[in-house]
């Protein structure tokens, strides 16, 4: 008989955002006339910019002509997009990469979840806490996380990021094999300075630790002193894989495109001590399990880097960051403690009077008709917080702040 992967049975009954959807749907059934403002899931609301639309139309038209039709493309991505990424995202910041170090994908979520395919199941794992749930769940699925004990996985080192330490993770006493870092951070909306990020690169180099660096929100950084890539730190190519996404940068949540950088000098060991380049393993994995991102989508992504595309994307990001400013000011005026929202599209809000995350979520839903995301869903240190996103419509963000002010008053 066929046997299931029993590690899947260790996972919570459903994904965090599925639980939220169920609670919201229940509210809608019992309150059909109430208008809900959703500031929970980080989905974008603004349409694709004209430069991307034009590029997609052109690519579609190519598909009807025999001499420009495209079938299977390279699993690693087309050179036209890879070269645009290297020139604009890396060379412009003094980082040199070769084409074969960049892998186009259908998004950072997929790659952060799949990267474990090339790593042994018994590596120890470290995460900043709170953190994006996919990092933990994908390790649970392969047995790497251990067992769940009092809300924590036994083989995971949790590195608390709270207001008490200004959301700056501290170097752990215990050595870690694989470390997840996400900056600008989801869910807290906070960032790391170059000095703080260098501490982690130095730690990784000294301890032979692999850093999995999720930079999906780097385009939202406003402070010129904040690093956009871990490769801005000397030595990072020898210890880090970086993940990027066009989902929030250019509104590609429904189009699906991102990329992962695996430097050729990055290696990991076998049990016998042999050093293996991770670039060749990831290339092998992608060639076997992934058929590549569509040509039409990659042409749209390429358009992001044109002069007009850059200007249009800048305006889109400005739209969302203006929402973040309005929300931060509105929440501050209520007396709530609010973090993030300055270099990221997320606001991390401390619940008042010690109210639990889920309790505050339900109160805000039923009494203010605004949806957020309970902080505890991102890890133990998220208890007592709620995450709000700035990806809503401008008018909705303004209305949501009015509702919350009235509710808390």
* CATH number of the domain enclosing 78: 3.40.640.10
Regarding whether 105 and 160 lie in a shared domain, the answer is yes
User: Do 83 and 192 belong to one domain?
Assistant: yes
The answer on 43 and 111 residing in a single domain is no
CB-based contact 185:216 (threshold 8 Å): no
Kind plus residue range of the DSSP H or E element containing 204: helix 194-207
268 and 243 fall within a common domain = yes
Q: Is residue 170 part of a domain?
A: yes
Question: Which residue is associated with the tokens 């991505």?
Answer: 77
Q: What is the CATH number of the domain that holds 386?
A: 3.90.1150.10
Assess if residue 324 is contained within a domain.
Answer: yes
What's the confidence (pLDDT) of residue 252? 97
Question: Is pLDDT at 67 greater than 80 in this prediction?
Answer: yes
Do 160 and 223 fall within a single domain? yes
pLDDT tens-place string over residues 262-286: 999 999 999 999 999 999 999 999 9
Q: Among candidates 231, 250, 239, which has minimal Cα distance to 204?
A: 239
| Alpha helices (runs of H) in 31-87, residue ranges in sequence order | 50-62, 79-85
| Residues 6 or more apart in contact with residue 243 via CB below 8 angstroms | 108, 111, 112, 212, 213, 214, 215, 216, 258, 259, 260, 261
170 and 217, same domain (yes or no) = yes
Of the candidates 272, 306, 340, which is a domain's last residue? 306
378 and 288 part of one domain: no
Neighbours of 194 (CB within 10 A): 12
Which one, of 78, 111, 386, 342, lies nearest residue 217 by Cα?
A: 342
Tally the domains of the chain: 2
Look at residue 293 and tell me whether its pLDDT is greater than 80.
yes
State the DSSP string of 173-198: SS--SEEEEESS-TTT-----HHHHH
Task: Summarize pLDDT for 45-56 with one digit per residue, the tens.
Answer: 999 999 999 999
Coil, strand or helix: which one is 268? strand
Whether 3 maps to a domain, the answer reads: no
Q: Do 167 and 250 share a domain, yes or no?
A: yes
Is pLDDT of 315 > 90? Answer: yes
Is 256 in the same domain as 343? no
Tell which of 306, 323, 339 closes a domain: 306
Token pair, residue 59, equals: 């690519």
Q: What percentage of the chain exceeds 70 in pLDDT?
A: 99
Structural domain including 137 reads: 54-306
Say if 119 falls within a structural domain: yes
Paired residues of 370 in beta bridges: 37
Distance CA 318, CA 154 (A): 42
Q: pLDDT tens for residues 11-37? A: 986 678 888 889 999 999 999 999 999
Q: How far apart are CA 106 and CA 388, in angstroms?
A: 25
Other beta carbons less than 10 A from residue 267's beta carbon? 18
Place of tokens 């997009």: 81
Token code pair at residue 151 = 């809300």
Start-to-end Cα distance in the chain? 61
What whole-number distance in Å separates Cα of residue 321 and Cα of residue 54? 25
Find out whether 150 and 179 touch, Cβ atoms under 8 Å: no
Does residue 125 carry a pLDDT above 70? Answer: yes
If asked whether residues 251 and 325 sit together in one domain, one would say no
Beta bridge partners of 182: 214
Q: Looking at the structure, do residues 90 and 219 belong to the same domain, yes or no?
A: yes
3-class DSSP state of 157: strand
Residue 224 lies in a domain: yes
**pLDDT for the residue 41:** 82
Whether the Cβ atoms of residue 235 and residue 205 lie closer than 8 Å to each other:
yes
Please, what is the average pLDDT of the chain? 96
Task: Tell me: pLDDT of 199 over 70.
Answer: yes
The pLDDT tens digits for 167-190 are: 999 999 989 999 999 999 999 999
Residue 228 has pLDDT above 80, yes or no: yes
* pLDDT, position 14: 67
Same domain, 368 and 297: no
Domain-located, residue 191: yes
Which domain-ending residue is among 244, 276, 306? 306
Residue 2, in any domain of the structure: no
Does 1 reside within a domain? no
Distance, in Å, from the CA atom of 24 to the CA atom of 47, rounded to the nearest integer, reads 25
Tell me the per-residue pLDDT of 141-161, one tens digit each, with 9 for 90 and over.
999 999 999 889 999 999 999
Note the helical H segments in 218-306. 247-250, 278-289, 295-303
Report yes or no: 48 and 251 within 8 Å, Cβ to Cβ: yes
Question: Coil, strand or helix: which one is 361?
Answer: helix
pLDDT of residue 134: 94
């Amino acid at each position: 008989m066929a046997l299931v992967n029993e590690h899947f049975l260790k996972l919570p009954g459903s994904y965090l955002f599925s639980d939220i959807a169920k609670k919201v749907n229940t509210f809608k059934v019992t309150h059909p006339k109430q208008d809900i403002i959703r500031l929970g899931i980080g989905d974008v609301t603004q349409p694709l910019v004209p430069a991307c639309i034009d590029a997609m139309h052109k690519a579609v038209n190519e598909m009807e002509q025999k001499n420009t039709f495209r079938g299977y493309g390279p699993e690693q991505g087309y050179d036209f997009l890879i070269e645009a990424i290297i020139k604009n995202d890396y060379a412009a910041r003094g980082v040199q990469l070769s084409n074969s170090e960049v892998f186009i994908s259908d998004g950072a979520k997929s790659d952060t979840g799949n990267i474990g395919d090339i790593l042994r199941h018994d590596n120890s794992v470290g995460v900043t806490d709170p953190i994006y749930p996919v990092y933990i769940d994908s390790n649970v699925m392969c047995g790497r996380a251990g067992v769940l004990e009092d809300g924590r996985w036994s083989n995971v080192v949790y590195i608390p990021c709270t207001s008490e330490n200004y959301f700056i993770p501290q170097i752990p006493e215990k050595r870690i094999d694989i470390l997840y870092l996400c900056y600008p951070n989801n869910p807290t909306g906070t960032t790391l300075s170059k000095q703080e990020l260098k501490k982690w690169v130095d730690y990784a180099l000294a301890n032979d630790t692999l850093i999995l660096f999720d930079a999906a929100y780097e385009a939202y950084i406003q402070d010129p002193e904040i690093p956009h890539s871990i490769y801005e730190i000397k030595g990072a190519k020898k210890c880090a894989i970086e993940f990027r996404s066009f989902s929030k940068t250019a509104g590609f949540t429904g189009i699906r495109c991102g990329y992962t950088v695996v430097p050729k000098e990055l290696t990991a060991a076998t049990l016998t001590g042999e050093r293996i380049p991770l670039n060749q393993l990831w290339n092998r994995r992608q060639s076997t399990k992934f058929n590549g991102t569509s040509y039409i989508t990659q042409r749209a992504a390429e358009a992001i880097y044109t002069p007009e595309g850059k200007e249009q994307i800048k305006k889109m990001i400005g739209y969302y960051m203006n929402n973040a400013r309005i929300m931060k000011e509105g929440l501050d005026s209520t007396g709530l403690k609010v973090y993030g929202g300055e270099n990221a599209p997320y606001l991390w809000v401390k619940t008042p009077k010690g109210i639990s995350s889920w309790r505050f979520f339900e109160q805000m839903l039923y009494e203010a008709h605004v949806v957020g995301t309970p902080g505890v869903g991102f890890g133990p240190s998220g208890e007592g917080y709620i995450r709000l996103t700035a990806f809503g419509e401008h008018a909705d963000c303004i209305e949501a702040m009015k509702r919350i002010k009235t509710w808390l008053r």
